[in-house]
Structure 1
Amino acid sequence: MPVLRRNTLVSCLIALLCGGTLWLAYDWFQSRYVRAFEEHATLFTGDSLHLPAALAGPGAIRVVHFWDAACPCNVGNQQHLAELVAHYQPLGVKFYAMEKGRKHSRLPDNLAALQPLEALPGADGLPASPAVAIWDQRGQLAYFGPYSEGAVCNSANSFIEPVLQALTERRAVNATHTMAVGCYCLWEASAKP
């Protein structure tokens, strides 16, 4: 009986040690690789955004996708963005991507059509990402803000499709100040997550 009790005690200690080790590994991984985010209200203002000189002026509708490779919120909008590219790029809409910190991370293969932007005047002061800016055919900022409201993004709750539809029909859009509650990660370098 004492041998059985000792084996049980040793087994329990090993299980406790393994469980503690797994918890520490999970906590380390989460703090190191999973950036914390909150679903909160964010005000997006596009007053300071301007196209780079090479893209400014009249031309195609231009869409700029702002993203941060470390932000878990990107996953929710990447499939939707790929659907937007597939639908609107054949209509002449140009798609660009600007990464926070310009680290040259790789977008998923289904977003390979997005041309990278190295600089965009006013982008350093953005409040959060993922976000999108859309310039109309005259080169005027028509929309700046999130893709949608809520934790996930799809065509059912998208702010982008109605804007792109109106612009492709040559209707005016002026939505450069938006507020939404959703999954966003802070963009500004001085902001603390």
Structure 2
Amino acid sequence: MSNRIAKATLSALALVLCAAVLWQAYTTFQARYLRPFDNQATLFDGSQLRLPAELAGPGPIRVVHFWDPACPCNVGNQQHLADLVSQFAGQDVAFHVVQKPGSHGQLPTSLASLQPIASLPGSEHLPASPAVAIWDRQGHLAYFGPYSEGAVCNASNSFIEPILKALLAGRPVTASNTLAVGCYCPWTG
């Protein structure tokens, strides 16, 4: 009888120990790799953005990617951006990048063709990144805001493809102030 009790006790202890190890693994994974999705709306106001002198005026459609290397929201965004570059780069669309001041990092090789802009007037007032600004062929700001709305970014929920297609077709776009909910990191601070 005592042998049965000992086996049952050992089984119960093993079960409790196994559950504790699984719980510890789960909480460690969650704390390290999962970021909570902040459901706060962000207003992207492009009224102060200006192209630098060397890019201003008539020219190709200019897409400027605002990038913070430390932002975990870049993961899905960078693949989407690489898809945009491969889809539109040969169609009179130039792609540029502005890196968050004071940050250090290197874009993935799939985005090596983005031309860096050292300083973009008005970018110090950006609310968050990743973000994108698009200037039309006349040099007017057509769009400023996020790539998409929601926790992830891809072609199915992107704002960018329809805007680029409209600009390439010669249709005017004016959307320099955008309110969206998504995965963003603060640009300042």
- Asked if Structure 1 and Structure 2 have the same fold, meaning a TM-score greater than 0.5 normalized by the shorter chain, the answer is yes
Number of residues paired by the alignment? 189
CA distance 1:87–1:188, change in 2 (3 Å) = closer
Q: How does 1:9-48 map to 2 (within 5 A)?
A: 38-48=38-48
Distance across 2 between alignment mates of 1:120 and 1:36:
31
Q: How does 1:1-193 map to 2 (within 5 A)?
A: 38-181=38-181, 183-190=182-189
Q: CA deviation at 1:36?
A: 7.1
Preserved CA contact (<8 Å) 1:39 1:151: no
Please give the per-residue CA displacement for 1:90-148, whole angstroms capped at 9, x wherever unaligned. 11200001111253410011111111111000001101100000000000000000000
TM-score (norm 2): 0.80
Counterpart residue identity of residue 113, structure 1? S
Which residue number in structure 1 is paired with residue 6 of structure 2? Answer: none
Backbone CA RMSD of aligned residues: 2.9
TM-score (norm 1): 0.79
Counterpart residue identity of residue 188, structure 2? A
Percent sequence identity over aligned pairs? 60
Preserved CA contact (<8 Å) 2:61 2:94: yes
Distance across 1 between alignment mates of 2:37 and 2:56:
34
Counterpart residue identity of residue 148, structure 1? S
Please give the per-residue CA displacement for 1:41-90, whole angstroms capped at 9, x wherever unaligned. 11111000000001000000000001111110010211111010001001
Unaligned residue ranges in structure 1 (runs of 5+): 1-22
Unaligned residue ranges in structure 2 (runs of 5+): 1-22
CA distance 1:185–1:117, change in 2 (3 Å) = same
Report the 3-state secondary structure (helix = DSSP H, G, I; strand = E; otherwise coil) of the residue aligned with 2:57: coil
Which residue number in structure 2 is paired with residue 10 of structure 1? Answer: none
